[in-house]
Structure 1
C-alpha cells in the first residue's frame, strides 16, 4: 500500500495483476478492479495505459517497481495526451478544477477501504469482468487512506 498526494489522496484500490508465462521478459497486465477516474485507465475494464508497462518493459523491472514507482507516478502525473478515458483526459485539459473534483467524487464513491475489499464481489452488471480475466491473476490493494 502507498500514499498518494493530490486528488487521489485517500483512495484505496484493488489492483489486478496478471503475469504472462514469459514474465519477467514479458510485462504483466495491470488493472484497477474498483473504479477510478483517470485519463490513462479505462473506466469500464480498469486497464492501465502506461508506457513503462506496455511498451518499454524490461526484465530488470519487477512488481515492486509497479507498486512502488509506476502506479504512484501514474496517479501523480496523468498523461492526458495518451488516454484510455477520453472524457477524463479532455476534462483534465479543459478544466483542471472540475477534473480534480470528479476524481475526488470517484474516490469517495468507489475507492474507500471497504470498496477495495469488496470490489470483486459487488460489481454491477456493466462492470463485470469475465472469469478469464481472473483466471491467472493476483490482486493487491493499492493506496492507503491518510490517518
Structure 2
C-alpha cells in the first residue's frame, strides 16, 4: 500500500513541476513523500493579492484512497479556516466518503487558493469571520491585511524547510480566475454561486 502511495505522490509532484502553476508551490519534506510543505499565493485583484500562505500536507500509506490532512501554518482570518488549528473546511478533506481518487495535490492546492477569495458562508468554521464579512466587508478586509502587516513575525513562524527558495517549484504560468473558479466550483465545500465570483462577496453584501 505504501509503495502505491509513493508512486502516486511522485506522479503528483511531476504534475506540479510540468505545469508550473502560478502562485502554487509544493515539495516533499520526508524521504517517503508522506509529509509535504506547500505555499499558495492569493489571487490577483482580490484582498488576498500578494499574500503568501504556508501549509503542511500529511499523507498516509492509503493515499489516494483517503484524503491527506492539510493545515495552514499561516492561518488566514477566513470563514472556512479553523483559526486555532489551521485546518481548511473543505468537505472532501474532512469526509473520506466525499473524497475522489481523481483529486491530486494540484487540485487540492487549487481549491485552497480559490477558497480564500470565494468563501462559503454556510456553516462556517470561523463564525466571527463569516459574520464580519457579511456585516462589514471593509472591516473584514482591514483585519485580513492586518494579519500580514507584521512580516517579521511571519518569517519567524515559518519552518526552515519553507524558507529555502531552492526547494520550491517556481510558478510562472498564468491561469485566469475563471479557470480557477471552474476547478474549485466542482470540488470545494459546496457549489459556489455567482455571488462568489466577486472577491469577498456574499448574498448579505449585495447592494440594493
Give TM-score, length-normalised by structure 1: 0.71
Q: Give the structure 2 partner of residue 78 of structure 1.
A: 119
1:112-131 CA-partner distances (Å, limit 9, x unpaired): 4982x54255xxxxxxxxxx
Q: What does residue range 107-118 of structure 1 map to in structure 2 within 5 Å?
A: 107-109=148-150, 112=151, 115=154, 118=156
Q: Give the structure 1 partner of residue 104 of structure 2.
A: 62
Q: Give the structure 2 partner of residue 99 of structure 1.
A: 140
1:16-73 CA-partner distances (Å, limit 9, x unpaired): 1111331111011111012311111011110110124334321111101112x21111
1:89-121 CA-partner distances (Å, limit 9, x unpaired): 111111111111111111323xx4982x54255
Q: Give the structure 2 partner of residue 119 of structure 1.
A: 157
Q: Give the structure 1 partner of residue 70 of structure 2.
A: 30
Aligned-partner Cα distance in 2 for 1:73–1:13? 13
CA RMSD of aligned residues (A): 2.6
Q: Which runs of 4+ in 1 moved over 6 A?
A: none
Q: Give the structure 1 partner of residue 53 of structure 2.
A: 13
Secondary structure of the 2:54 match is strand
Structure ranking higher on relative contact order (CA contacts 8 Å, 6+ apart): 1
Q: Of 129, 142, 161, which residue of structure 2 is paired with 1:88?
A: 129
Q: Give the structure 2 partner of residue 45 of structure 1.
A: 85
Q: Give the structure 1 partner of residue 34 of structure 2.
A: none
Q: Which structure is larger by alpha-carbon Rg, 1 or 2?
A: 2
Q: Is the 8 A contact 2:75 2:81 kept in 1?
A: no
Distance 1:29 1:113, change over 3 A: farther
List runs of 5+ in structure 2 lacking aligned partners: 1-21, 24-40, 160-166, 172-208
Distance 1:93 1:70, change over 3 A: same
Aligned-partner Cα distance in 2 for 1:57–1:27? 6
List runs of 5+ in structure 1 lacking aligned partners: 122-139
